[in-house]
Chains A and B, each alone.
Chain A
Amino acid sequence: MTSIDNDQEQLLREKSLAFFGAITASVSHELNNVISIIDQTAGLLEDLLYGTQQGRPIQNERLERIATRVRKQTQRGVGIIKRLNRFAHSVDDPVGEFELNNLIENLTALNQRFASLKRVNLETHYSDEPINIVSSPFLIQQVLFLCIKMALDASQENDTIIVIIDSDDDGVKMSVMGRKLEQNENELYSDYLDQLMTIMGGKIEVKSDDNQSVFKILIQRSK
C-alpha cells in the first residue's frame, strides 16, 4: 500500500467512518423492521390466545401461517446479521488475501436497501472464475460504495445500475454503470476516490456518453 501524509490519513479516517456509519445505519433500520414484524406477530398470537379464552378457537392453519411468518422474518434477520458480520470483519486486516466476487456480493447486498428506497435495480455480474487478490478489502468496498452512491444519486425511478466484476492479465476490473452524471455529481468524490485508488495502487476513471456514465476501476491482483 502507498503511504499517505497526515491530512490524507485524517480524511481517510473521516470518510471511512462515514462509509461504515452509512452501512450500519441502513442495516439497523432493516433489522428494526424485522424485529417490529416479529414483535407484532407475538402480539397477534396473544390476541388470538385471548380470543380462545373468550370462546373463539384458533384454526391450525392460522397458527401455521403465523409460525411461517416468524420463521421467514427470523431467516431474514439472520441473513442481515451475517452480511453485517462479514462486512465488519473486512476491516480486521488492512491488507489481506480474499476472493473479490464474495466480497462484492456482500457489499452489493448491503447496498440493496439504498437502491430499493429509490426504486432502482442494482444488478451485479460476477466473473466466471474466482478472483483471489491481495489488497485492502475495506478500501475496495469503500470505492465501490461511493461509485454506487454517485450512480444512485443520479438515478431515476426504475433505472438499473449494473456492477461488473472481471479480471485479465492487467489486473482486476470493476465497472459501475448508471445514468449520466452531471459535472458537479462527477466531481463530488473524485479527489477522494483518486486518493483511495492511489493507496491501493490502482486507478479509476469515469467515462460518460449522452446517456450513461461508467466508473472503471482497475486494481492490481497483488499489492
Chain B
Amino acid sequence: MDSFKVLLIDDESELVETLVERLGYRGVTAKYTTSGREALRMMTDEVFDIIVLDLKMPGMSGEEVLKEMKNRNIETPVLLITGHGAPIDEMDEKIDGVADYLAKPISLEELIAKMKESIRSE
C-alpha cells in the first residue's frame, strides 16, 4: 500500500492539525475536522480509505458518528481514538463497527501501522 487518504476527526484542533502535517510528510493524504456533523458531510462528499475518530467529542460523539455512518451505509473502516490512560485491551467498551483502537497519546508510527492494517483487512 503506497498511499491512502484518511479523515481525522477530533475536537482538539491543534492535535489534528499537527497530525495532518506529520502524516503529509510521510506521504499520507490527510484531512481533518473538529465536528462529527462536518465529518459526515465530508464522508458524503468524498471517499476516504480510513476514518480516525475520537470517541469523546462535544455535540455529536464518536459513537453517534459511527451510528450515523451505519445508517448512511458508509463502510469506511474506522480507527477509534480514546483518551483512556489504560491499555486498549483493558477497555470495557468495545464498539461495533470499529476496526481497531488507539489510546492517546498517539504514536504516529502506531497510527500509520494500524491504519494500513485496517485498510488491508477490509
Residues of A within 8 A of B (CB): 28-29, 32-33, 35-37, 39-41, 43-44, 47, 51, 69, 73, 116-119, 157
A10 to B78, CA, bound (A): 43
* Total of A-B residue pairs, C-beta within 8 Å: 56
Q: Output the nearest chain A residue to B21 by Cβ-Cβ distance.
A: A44
Interface string of B1-32 (1 = CB under 8 A from A): 00000000000101100110110010000000
Given contacts A43-B22, A44-B22, contact A37 B61 (CB under 8 A): no
The 10 closest A-B pairs by CB, nearest first: A29-B83, A36-B105, A40-B18, A119-B59, A39-B105, A32-B83, A36-B104, A32-B104, A37-B15, A116-B58
A29 cross-chain contacts in B, Cβ below 8 A: 56, 83
Measured CB to CB, the nearest residue on chain A to B25 is A47
B74 interface residue per 8 A CB criterion? no
Known: A37-B12, A40-B19, A40-B108. A32 touches B58 (CB 8 A): no
> Per-residue CB proximity of B75-114 to A under 8 Å, as 1/0?
0000000010100000000000000000011101000000
Whether B22 contacts A40 by the Cβ 8 Å rule is: yes
Task: Point out the residue from A32, A43, A116 that lies within 8 Å of B108, measured CB to CB.
Answer: A43
Contacts of A32 in B (CB 8 A): 83, 85, 104-105
Q: How far is the CA of A69 from the CA of B15 in the complex (A)?
A: 10
Docked complex Cα distance between A203 and B13 (Å): 44
A-B contact pairs, 23 of them (CB 8 A): A29-B83, A32-B85, A33-B104, A35-B104, A37-B12, A37-B14, A37-B18, A39-B106, A40-B15, A40-B22, A41-B14, A41-B18, A43-B18, A44-B18, A44-B21, A47-B25, A51-B25, A73-B14, A118-B58, A118-B59, A119-B58, A119-B59, A157-B59
Q: Which A residues touch B104, using CB under 8 A? A: 32-33, 35-36
Tell me how far the C-beta of B4 lies from the nearest C-beta in chain A, rounded to whole angstroms.
19
Most buried by B among A40, A43, A117: A40
Chain B residues, Cβ within 8 Å of A117: 56-58, 61
Which residues of B have CB within 8 Å of A116?
58
CB <8 Å contact, A33 and B25: no
C-alpha spacing A29/B22, complex, angstroms:
23
**Which residue in chain B gives the minimum CB-CB distance to A39?**
B105
From residue B16, how far is it (CB to closest CB) to chain A in Å?
9
Q: Which residue of A lies closest to B81 (CB)?
A: A36
Query: Which B residues, 21 to 77, have Cβ-Cβ distances below 8 Å to chain A?
Result: 21-22, 25, 56-59, 61
Q: Are A36 and B58 in contact (CB under 8 A)?
A: no
B57: chain A residues within 8 A (beta carbon): 117
